[in-house]
Each structure stands twice: as structure tokens, then as C-alpha cells.
A and B are shown apart, each in its own frame.
Chain A
Amino acid sequence: MELLVALLVVGILLYVMIASRKSGLDTAESHLDRVQDEKAAWEDERFVSYGQVQQTREELNTAIDSSFTGNEEHRSLLKEIVNEWANLRVKTFEERRSWVRSPKKEE
């Protein structure tokens, strides 16, 4: 009788362990999916390098200068928005890169 109870308990515990591993695997798969989606989203982005952002910043600033000659307030506001956007883009690149390529971030 004692042996039967012991076997039953051990059996239940083994079932619990195996079943919980399945749920753990699902969590790992879900995490992997998120990482892959994130990577795929980066690949779809229009601006993917520091150089591209700087070039676009210059182009937009030139366009603003030539288009808003009569409205100084709008001109400086738009340039501020463009510069903030460019800085944020660069910051995003730095955060995305690993410590191998981004020494400032880690040390």
C-alpha cells in the first residue's frame, strides 16, 4: 500500500514537471517570436544607418531654409523638430547595437 501511494505521488510529480516544461517551452517560443518580429521590423525601416539620417537631416534643413524664408518662427520650429527626430533615430541605432559595436553604451 505504502509503495502504491509513493509511486502515485512520484508519478504525479513527474507529470507536473513534464507538463510544466511544455509551458516553459511555449514561453521561450513566444520570446523568440518577439525577437524575430523586432528584427524583421528593423529590416523594414526606411532609415537604417547613421549616414542616411545625417543626409536626410541636411536635405530637410535645406528644404526648410528655402521654403520658409518669410516665416522665421515656423522655420526654426521645423528645424528643431527635424533635428530632434534625427537625434532620436541615432539614439535608437545605438541602443539596438550590441556592446561589441557600441562601446560608449556599456563603459
Chain B
Amino acid sequence: MTDEKANSQEEQGTGFAKRTDFRWLGIGVAIFIALILIPTPQSMLLHAESMYDQMTVSRQAETSVEDIASNIQVIIALLSMCVVFFATEAVPLPAVALSIGLIQLFFGITEPSRIVSTYAHDAVWFIAGSLALGSTFIKYGVDKRIGMVVINAAGTNIRRIIIGLLLGTSLPAAFIGEHAVAGMYLPIAIALYTLTDKEISCPRLGKLLTITIAFGCMMGGPMSPTGGARNAIMIGFLSDVGVDVSFVQWLSMGVFYTFFMVLCMSFILPILFKPEVTDLTKAVTVLKSDLQKHGKMTRQQWLVVAVMLLVVFLWITDKSLVKSLFGFSLGLGGIAITGAVLYMLLGLTTWKDYEDGVSWGVVVLYAGAISLGSVFKATGAAGWLANTIISMVEPLGMNSGFPLIVLVIIVGASLTNLMSAGATVAVIGPVILGMAEASGTNPLIVGIILAISTSAAFWLVIGTPASSIVYSSGMLESKDFIRGGTLAWPVAILVMIGMVLIYWIPVLGLDLNI
């Protein structure tokens, strides 16, 4: 990489610190304007007409078929522009999220008094609360305790260490951010590699240990609603179509994927990156003695764990015990925020800690995604796009039922390698759910399988934050991810298909069609 290129990237910044890239901004805006200016498609007018016919007389008096079609066209243009901005991160992402509301406002799609409410959803509270809980966990080093437990339990054989790392990364990644989990395990992997490398050169061992961390983090996210903002967004989208998903329900559906992927990867990864040594007794012994210096769990760490356990207990019992006690459910977001506030009331954390430790840009970004999903459905854009895609895939027989689910898995698992998982769910979630509704396929299955499929970002070093973190260790090359993804990606697809066929439908008793 040339110095000029690196300097230019330095000036642009990264993540939420990124400044506008005017080239992509121009392309995004050009696509938006072009899609607004093209003549309204006939199918869009027909869809608007059928929506108009279903309206009450008073509502019909306030609008017209042309207005409805025009709104649909603007929202489709907005979606396309969002795809450009989410994929390129050309504009600070919270600005994109806020622009979603502004476009609704300036084009008269949503009344000014209702704009803010399109951003408000329990899922947004859930994301904010989960991030706050995770930041307190990290502040007190409780996450690292999990790493210590894994090293103490995994033994000294490389295969057992790989299983330990896969379980040790995937289980926490279901509850706290995967970047935090990767950052916590990377020093352990580097220590194991460095201590072994002193005795015998072992670059493949380094690759195996680090890529295991990245893949483990990816495989944990689908297990629970807290495994990533994409899951919370999907819960929000599902509630828009009248499907309420409880914490336990998601957990019972997602656990299969995580455990089967851990099982498969514990065989595949040591074959792909065959380590030079299989016994790491010396390295593990030194590492254990280093970890012992951290001493026992402190009273504050126990308190942090206790509150977290209480939150998880409330999430699990929200639809049963909590509902019978209060007469209503608290909602996943309400419970997450309860935990975050409890941490402050108990003096374990301060608001300043939340300001520093929580990425509020992420909260704004996904509130924008919720707003986009809500207006997408309300204007009829989701219905029109869903019908259009259905008519396109109908000749292939993939317009409903199980073939539709396979299509969703492949599209989700492919797009997540091109965009972030959250963005993939945000832009195609409402369309996919629209297709499920239009075709009579169970939206719960379609929605959750889409969220799970977006965890299959195995191919690229920038597929997920965890991949980028382990890549920065310098032990992996880009081609290692391609090598790992070549087997992990199709295996993930097969596990997802198998999960629907042999677990969700027969064991959990979910109906494929509604």
C-alpha cells in the first residue's frame, strides 16, 4: 500500500469517525434522483390502485392513486440510496439514519408529528440497553474471566483448545459485542502462539488460533437476540407484521446453528490450517500462571454478573413469570434498559462510562433502520417489491415455502459478505417479510433465517469486526479468509437448511406456511 493511499484513508477516518466520501455520495444521490425521475412503473400504479381500493372513504379523500405510487417510488429510491451508503459507508452512518426520516419529511410521506415515532421501537431500547450492559461487563473485565475459564478447562491438546476457543467465543458473542469478544481472546491466541513459536516455528498454528476466534464470534451471534443489532432489527420488523418473538423462542431457534457450526468447524479448521504442533503444554502452563496473577473475582465483578444474570432471567421469563406478575410483558428493550439503569443505581457505572463505552451511533443507525422498515411497509413499497420479486422467481419455483427459505438463506449469506450484517437485514428484511406474507410462508421462519444467514461473512477480512481485529494481528492473510470461507460458507448454508428441516419444523413444531 502506498503512503499517499494510507494518508488519504487516515484523513477519511474509519467507522463512525469517517467523513463524507463525495464520490460515493454523488453516486448514491444520483441513483436516488434517477429512480424518482423515471416514469412510474405500471405494476407500481396497479399496486397503488389496489391499496387505494382497500382504504376507507375518508382516507381516500386525503390521497390519490398517483400519490401512493409516488410515495412507493420515493421509498424504493431511498432504499437504493441507503444500500449505496450502507455498503460504502460513504456518509457517516448516523447521518444516513437521520436522512431516512428527513426524506420522509421533505417528500410529505410521513407527517412531521409522526416522524420521530417511526424511529421509536422496543428494539431500539434493546440495542441501547444491550450495548450498555456489555460495556459494563467489559469495564470490570468480567469478559476476560470467561477467557480464563476457557484456558483452564480446554487442556493442552490443540483440538481441545480449538473446541474451547470456538465455544468460548461463540457463547459470549451471543450476549456481548463480537468485537469485544475477539479483542479479549486475541491476546490469549497471540500468547499461545508466541510461547510455542519460541520452541518451534509454527505459523499455521497462529493462523488456526486467530481464524478460530473470528469464526467463533460469527457463529455465536445468531444464538440469541442480543447477538447483534441485526437480530434486534429483525425482532422489530417481525413485530411490524404482527409476530412477537420472545428471548426464549429466539434462543431455542438459534442454538442449533451455533452448536452445529462449532461442531463442524472444530473438525474443518484444524484440517484447513493443519498446525505444526498438537501439544501446547508449555505455552498453556505459562499462560495459566500469567492468568492466575489476576486473582479471584472481586465483589464488584460478582455484582456485575448478578445483574446480568437477573437480566437474562427476566428475558427468559418475560412472557411467563414476568407477565403473570405484572399482567404484561416488559419487552426485551425494557428489561435491557432496567439492567443498564441498575448498574448505575448500584454505583457500578456512571453515565460517562456509557458515553464512552456505548456506540450511540449504532443506536441511531439502527433506529434509522427501524424507521426505514416501518415506512417501507406503511407506504406499500415492501408489498410492491415483494410481489415483483415473487413474480420473477416464480418460474424457478422459489416464490414460497421451503424454496423461498433456501433463497433467503443464499441471498442473506451472500449479501452479508458485501455489506454489514445489520445493513443487510435493514435493507432486505422488510422485502423478505413482504414476500413471506404475500406467499403465505411463515414470516417467523423467513425473518429469523435471514438474520441467522447474515452471520456467514466468512470470506473477507472486513466481513465482521471480529475478522478485522484478528487480521490486525498480522498472522493471517486475506487468502486465509477465502480459504476458510470456501468450506465454512457452504457448511453454514447446509446447517441452516438442515436446521429448518430437521429442527425448526419437526422438533419446535413451527409451521412452514401460515
A23 at the interface (CB under 8 A from B): yes
Majority secondary structure, A binding face: helix
Contact at B9–A103, with CB atoms within 8 Å?
no
The interface on chain A, measured as residues whose beta carbon lies within 8 A of the other chain's beta carbons, has a size of 36
Contact A13 B84 (CB under 8 A): yes
The segment from B171-179, B260-268, B292-300 found at the interface with A is B292-300
Does B325 reach chain A (CB closer than 8 Å)? no
CB-based contact A106/B144 at 8 Å:
yes
A17/B31 in contact, CB under 8 A? no
Q: Which residue of B lies closest to A12 (CB)?
A: B31
- Contact status B31-A9, CB under 8 Å: yes
- Flag if A25 contacts B41 (CB, 8 Å): no
Report the minimum CB–CB distance from B75 to chain A (whole Å): 14
Is there an interface contact between B1 and A30, defined as CB atoms closer than 8 Å? yes
B474/A25 in contact, CB under 8 A: no
- CA of A71 to CA of B46, assembled, Å: 97
Instruction: Give the residue of A2, A17, A98 whose beta carbon is less than 8 angstroms from that of B41.
Output: A2
CB interface residues, A 1-27, toward B, < 8 Å:
2-3, 5-6, 9, 12-14, 16-21, 23-27
- A28 on the interface (CB 8 Å rule)? yes
Bound-complex Cα distance A103 to B84 (A): 44
Chain B residue numbers with a CB within 8 Å of A6 are 388
A14 to B88 Cα, complex, angstroms: 11
Is B5 engaged at the interface, CB distance under 8 Å to the other chain? yes
- Asked if residues A17 and B5 are in contact (CB atoms below 8 Å), the reply is no
Q: Is the beta-carbon distance between A9 and B35 smaller than 8 angstroms?
A: yes
Say whether B188 faces chain A, with CB atoms less than 8 Å apart: yes
B290 at the interface (CB under 8 A from A): yes
Closest residue of chain B to A3 (Cβ to Cβ) is: B392
Decide if B42 is an interface residue (CB 8 Å cutoff).
Answer: yes
Judge whether B460 is part of the interface by a CB distance below 8 angstroms. yes
Is there a chain B Cβ closer than 8 Å to A100's Cβ?
yes
Beta-carbon contacts under 8 Å, B171-213 to A:
184, 186-188, 190-191
* Bound: A75/B434 CA distance, A: 80
Q: Which residues of B contact A24 (CB under 8 A)?
A: 460, 462
Are the CB atoms of B462 and A25 closer together than 8 Å?
yes
The CA of A31 and the CA of B38, in the complex, are separated in Å by: 42
Q: Which residue of A lies closest to B145 (CB)?
A: A107
Task: Please indicate the chain A residues that have their CB under 8 angstroms from the CB of B38 in the complex.
Answer: 5
CA distance A23 to B141 in the complex (A): 34
B24 on the interface (CB 8 Å rule)? yes
At the interface, yes or no: A88 with Cβ under 8 Å from chain B? no
> Which residue on chain B has the smallest CB distance to residue A36?
B474
What is the CA–CA distance of A19 and B84 in the complex, to the nearest angstrom? 11
Query: Does the CB pair A21–B9 fall under 8 Å?
Result: no
B-contact bits for A81-102, CB 8 A (1 contact / 0 none): 0000000000000000011110
- B191 contacts A101, CB within 8 Å? yes
Instruction: Compute how far the CA of A14 lies from the CA of B1 in the bound complex, rounded to whole angstroms.
Output: 25
B322 close to A (CB within 8 Å): no
* Nearest CB of B to A93, in Å: 15
- Is A59 interfacial (CB 8 A cutoff)? no
- Chain B nearest CB from A14 CB (Å) reads 8
The smallest C-beta distance from A13 to any residue of chain B, in angstroms, reads 5
- Which residue of the partner chain, among B27, B42, B471, contacts A16 with CB atoms under 8 Å? B27
Say whether A13 contacts B80, CB under 8 Å: yes
A-B pairs with beta carbons under 8 Å apart, 10 shown: A13-B83, A16-B88, A17-B87, A18-B418, A20-B24, A26-B1, A28-B468, A100-B187, A100-B290, A107-B144
